[in-house]
Amino acid sequence: MNEHNEIGQAPVDQRIQELLNRSIDGDISAIEQDELDQLVATSPAVRTLNGELRAVTRLLDELPELDPPQYLQNAIERQVRLPAQNNTHLKKPGRLGGWLSANWLRTGFALAAGVVLTVSVYEMGSEPITGEDSTRMVGTMAKRDLNGQQGELLDSVRLDTDKLNGLVELRQKADLFTLDVQLNSEGPSELVVNLAGRGLEFDGVSRIQDPVDAVSVVDGAIHLASSGEQHYTVSLRRISKAQGDEPLELDFFADNELIQQAELNVSKF
């Protein structure tokens, strides 16, 4: 493969291109490097190509390393069955492992990739929940009253650990449910709300005082990542009464570690 220089310089032959690449990778002898240095010094085409290849390499090397999602390690660990623990994958999985393995392992990852939804978080005012509000609610927005019309308290869970503490309350008004989340963590934390098979759908997140950093919905579970003080509400809407009585499952993570699991009853009686 010869390089045709854009400014009319002579093409660089394949061996020199290879030397340039090997030099970039530090895979070149001293003698070869001397030869290449001379070529770079005397040939504008080689000099240009050398600069361009090094620039490309630098761009590649400088691509930033990304942080994996916070839930990932726990999601993996909860699905893994080691050989000595269990010879099959039919053992009853953990909550998160249940919906992950059931859907991902059995039906394949193509489907799972298609249902990942990233949701924006909106800062909301303080307006009461009304029947009209709930019917108007679509997508990512929910309305909530801080002073009175919060809906009926169905259940709650309190956390009091070193890494994560706070309170989550589940309220209901008609077909609308809200999770009022007030948490405080030293480091990054994540709340996972499993809705799968409960006849409820995610209807949005609204910030009350402190924001949630990232929200995603994967295969029927809402992942809410944040840190420090957090106060927000998660809105859920009943879409099927027949399935609506199974408790909500909540997983609380802090610093990538499962801190607490809880169930909140969606029916008071």
Partner 1 sequence: MHKDNDAALVNDCKRGDRRAMSQLVSQYQRPVFNAAYRILGNKDDAADATQTVFLKVFEHIADYDQKFKFFSWVYRITVNESLNQVKKRRAQESLDDGQASPWQGPAEALDSKRICRRVQDALMLLNDEYRSVVVLKHISGCSYQQISEILQLPEKTVKSRLYSARQLLKTTLQDDETAKPGH
61 binds partner 1 (CB under 8 A): yes
Selected binder of partner 1 within 47, 81, 163, 207 (CB under 8 A): 81
Q: Residue 105 or 262: which CB sits closer to partner 1?
A: 105
Q: If binding is defined by CB under 8 A, does position 75 make contact with partner 1?
A: yes
- CA distance linking residue 168 with residue 226, whole number of Å: 15
Alpha-carbon torsion, ordered 204, 196, 105, 189, to 10 deg: 50
Tokens of 137: 């609610």
- Nearer to partner 1 by C-beta: 111 or 153? 111
**Phi-psi sector, 228: left (phi>0), alpha (psi -120 to 50), beta:** left
Count of positions on this chain that bind partner 1 (CB under 8 A): 51
Interface with partner 1 includes 69 (CB under 8 A)?
A: yes
The residue among 95 and 207 lying less far from partner 1, judged by its C-beta, is 95
Asked if 79 is part of the footprint of partner 1 (rule: CB under 8 A), the reply reads yes
Smallest distance, Å, CB 145 to partner 1? 34
The residue written with tokens 């493969």 in the block is 1
Is residue 153 at the binding interface for partner 1, with CB under 8 A as the rule? no
59 binds partner 1 (CB under 8 A): yes
Which amino acid is it at 100? L
Of 87, 131, 94, 99, which Cα lies nearest the Cα of 217? 99
Measured at the CA of 201, the angle between CA 210 and CA 121, to 5 degrees, comes to 25
53 interacts with partner 1 by CB under 8 A: yes
Alpha-carbon distance 227 to 136, whole Å?
Answer: 31
- Beta pairing partners, 184: 165, 229
Q: Does residue 21 belong to the site contacting partner 1 (CB under 8 A)? A: yes
CB of 36 to partner 1, least distance (A): 14
Which residue, 31 or 82, is less far from partner 1 as judged by CB? 82
Does residue 102 belong to the site contacting partner 1 (CB under 8 A)? no
CA angle 122, 127, 133 (to 5 degrees): 85
Binders of partner 1 in range 204-263 (CB under 8 A): 216
DSSP string over 33-71? HHHHHHHHHH-HHHHHHHHHHHHHHHHHHTSPPPPPPTT
Determine the interface stretch with partner 1 among 18-26, 161-169, 173-181, 182-190 (rule: CB under 8 A): 18-26
Residue recorded with tokens 């080691």:
82
Minimum distance from residue 119 beta carbon to partner 1 (Å)? 13
Q: Which of residues 31-50 bind partner 1 (CB under 8 A)?
A: none
Residues in contact with partner 1 by CB under 8 A are: 1, 3, 6, 17-18, 21-22, 25, 27, 51-53, 55-69, 72-73, 75-77, 79-85, 89, 100, 104-105, 109-110, 112-114, 116, 118, 216
